[in-house]
Chains A and B, each alone.
Chain A
Amino acid sequence: MDDHAIIELFYSRSETAIHETSQKYGNYCSRIAMNILANKEDSEECVSDTYFKTWNAIPPQRPEVLRSFLGRITRNLSLNRYKEKRRQKRGGDEVDLLLSELEGCVSSDHTVETELERGRIAGTINKFLYSIEIEHRVIFIRRYWYVDSISSIAKRLGVSESKVKSVLFRTRNRLRAYLEKEGVWI
Chain B
Amino acid sequence: MKSEKLLDEIGLIDDRLIAEAETYEAKRKKKKGRWLGLAAVAACAAIIFSLGLIPKEPDPSLGLPKLTINENMGDYGFEGFLAYDVKELSDGNPWNENDRIDTLPVFRNPVSYDAAGLPINGLSEEQMMQTAKDTAETMELAIDSVSLSASGDEAVAICGDVTINAEPDGGIRIIFGSSVQLPEEYRFTFHDTTQKEAQDVLQYLLSEYQAVSGLKSPSLSLFGDYNINGQRTFSYDAFESEGDFIQRILGYNFNRISFSPDDEGKLWIIDRYKANLSQKIGDYPIITAQKARELLLQKKYITSVPEKMPGEKMIAGVELIYRTSHYDEIFMPYYRFLVELPSMKMENGLKTFGAFYVPAVGEAYLTNMPRWNGNFN
Q: List residues of chain A with CB under 8 Å of any chain B CB.
A: 28, 38, 63-65, 67-69, 71-72, 75-76, 79, 83, 93-95, 98-107, 118-119, 121-122, 125-126, 129-130, 133-139, 141-142, 144-146, 151, 155-159, 161-163, 165-167, 169-170, 172, 186
Partner of B15, one of A65, A155, A163, A169: A65
Q: Separation in Å of the B307 CB from the closest CB of chain A?
A: 11
Chain B hits for A68, CB < 8 A:
15-16, 18-19
Contact, CB under 8 Å: A118 / B6: no
Partner of B11, one of A79, A100, A157: A79
Partner of A157, one of B76, B78, B223, B228: B76
Chain B hits for A138, CB < 8 A:
20-21, 24
Instruction: State in angstroms the CA–CA spacing of A38 and B80 once bound together.
Output: 30
Q: Does B36 contact A (CB under 8 A)?
A: no
Contact, CB under 8 Å: B17 / A106: no
Q: Separation in Å of the B22 CB from the closest CB of chain A?
A: 7
Contact, CB under 8 Å: B18 / A151: no
List, sorted by A's number, 25 A–B pairs whose CB atoms are closer than 8 Å: A38-B263, A65-B15, A65-B18, A68-B15, A71-B22, A79-B7, A99-B1, A105-B6, A118-B9, A119-B12, A125-B9, A126-B13, A135-B77, A136-B77, A137-B21, A138-B21, A138-B24, A145-B11, A145-B18, A145-B21, A157-B76, A159-B76, A166-B77, A166-B81, A167-B76
Q: Separation in Å of the A81 CB from the closest CB of chain B?
A: 14
Q: Does B28 contact A (CB under 8 A)?
A: yes
Q: List residues of chain B with CB under 8 Å of any chain A CB.
A: 1-22, 24-25, 28, 74-82, 173, 223, 225, 227-229, 233, 235, 260, 263, 269, 306, 326, 377
Contact, CB under 8 Å: B21 / A126: no
Main secondary structure of the interface of B (DSSP, over half): mixed
Main secondary structure of the interface of A (DSSP, over half): helix
Contact flag A144-B7 (CB < 8 Å), given A136-B77, A167-B77: yes
Q: Separation in Å of the A178 CB from the closest CB of chain B?
A: 13
Q: Separation in Å of the B23 CB from the closest CB of chain A?
A: 9
Contact flag A156-B11 (CB < 8 Å), given A99-B4, A167-B77: no
Chain B hits for A186, CB < 8 A:
2, 5-6, 9
Chain B hits for A126, CB < 8 A:
13-14, 17
Instruction: State in angstroms the CA–CA spacing of A129 and B24 once bound together.
Output: 15
A185's closest neighbor in chain B, by CB?
A: B2
Partner of B81, one of A101, A103, A162: A162
Contact, CB under 8 Å: A122 / B13: yes
Partner of B77, one of A121, A129, A158, A170: A170
Contact, CB under 8 Å: B377 / A133: yes
Contact flag A106-B2 (CB < 8 Å), given A100-B229, A144-B7: yes
A99's closest neighbor in chain B, by CB?
A: B3
Interface centre among A69, A130, A165 (most CB of B within 10 A): A165
Contact, CB under 8 Å: B74 / A163: yes
Chain A hits for B227, CB < 8 A:
101, 165, 169
Interface centre among A98, A118, A158, A172 (most CB of B within 10 A): A158
Contact flag A163-B2 (CB < 8 Å), given A64-B15, A145-B10: no
Chain B hits for A159, CB < 8 A:
74, 76
Contact flag A163-B28 (CB < 8 Å), given A68-B18, A106-B2: no
A163's closest neighbor in chain B, by CB?
A: B76
Contact flag A98-B7 (CB < 8 Å), given A151-B269, A186-B2: yes
